């Protein structure tokens, strides 16, 4: 078995479902470690917004490795409410799954050939307290690689709760192509 480098991401039907998904995710996360310690997940990599994807979650993702060759990573567990939100836990790998590779794999998985023509679909998630410079740098790389596809990042606090913007309606506009995001956050429990 490879070294233990677990990754996870959340698929959500739409921005309007983020608060509901966060509440349910918190309840789910409180049960997972009791059921199986291996089910415990650190910070999520991001949120993929896709009504079709959340209704028909994949069983595996094909990611590029360091040499550019494809590697298949199975989704070991998919927990959630089908059609609204799904927490996907990937199998352990020798190297962590980057957010950029995750976006590439999800685009390929759902047959999106022209990422530049899609509405925003990916929200990177960083652990609360992550270095600001590293977050900004990764966000710039993602935005350059996937213009209009990546929304501003959010944080996940120490309890695992997502720190969502106070006005998620702005993300709805971002899904339509705008990139503006107001300041001000609130915890949604």
Q: Give residue-wise pLDDT tens across range 163-177.
A: 887 654 445 545 444
pLDDT at 103: 92
The answer to the question of residue 49 being in a domain is: yes
Give the whole-angstrom CA distance, residue 129 versus residue 155.
8
| Assigned token pair, 36 | 């199986």
pTM over the 0.85 mark: no
Residue 109, CB-side half-sphere exposure with 13 Å CA sphere: 25
The answer to the question of residue 48 being in a domain is: yes
Helix (H) or strand (E) holding 127: strand 122-127
48 has pLDDT over 90: yes
The answer to the question of residue 2 being in a domain is: no
Give the domain range for residue 26.
8-187
The answer to the question of residue 1 being in a domain is: no
Cβ neighbours of residue 100 under 8 Å, at least 6 residues apart? 141, 142, 145
How many residues appear in the chain?
Answer: 189
pLDDT at 1: 37
The answer to the question of residue 140 being in a domain is: yes
Residues 90-131: pLDDT tens digits?
Answer: 887 777 788 998 998 998 888 776 665 577 789 999 998 899
Strand order across the beta sheet in which 60-64 lies: 60-64, 70-81, 85-90, 8-12, 46-49, 122-127, 154-156, 162-165, 185-187
Q: Report the number of distinct structural domains present in the chain.
A: 1
pLDDT at 182: 35
The answer to the question of residue 93 being in a domain is: yes
């Amino acid at each position: 078995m490879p070294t233990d480098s677990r990754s996870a991401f959340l698929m959500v039907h739409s921005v309007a479902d983020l608060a509901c998904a966060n509440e349910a995710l918190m309840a789910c996360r409180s049960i997972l470690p009791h059921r199986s310690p291996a089910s415990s997940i650190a910070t999520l990599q991001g949120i993929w917004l896709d009504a079709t994807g959340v209704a028909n979650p994949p069983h595996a993702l094909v990611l590029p490795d360091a040499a550019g060759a494809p590697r298949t990573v199975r989704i070991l567990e998919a927990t959630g409410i089908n059609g609204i939100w799904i927490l996907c836990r990937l199998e352990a790998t020798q190297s962590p799954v980057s957010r950029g590779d995750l976006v590439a794999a999800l685009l390929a998985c759902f047959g999106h050939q022209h990422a530049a023509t899609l509405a925003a679909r990916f929200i990177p998630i960083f652990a609360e307290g992550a270095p600001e410079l590293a977050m900004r740098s990764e966000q710039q790389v993602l935005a350059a690689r996937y213009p209009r596809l990546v929304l501003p990042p959010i944080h996940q606090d120490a309890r695992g709760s997502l720190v969502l913007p106070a006005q998620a309606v702005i993300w709805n506009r971002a899904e339509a192509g705008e990139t503006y995001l107001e300041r001000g956050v609130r915890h949604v429990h």
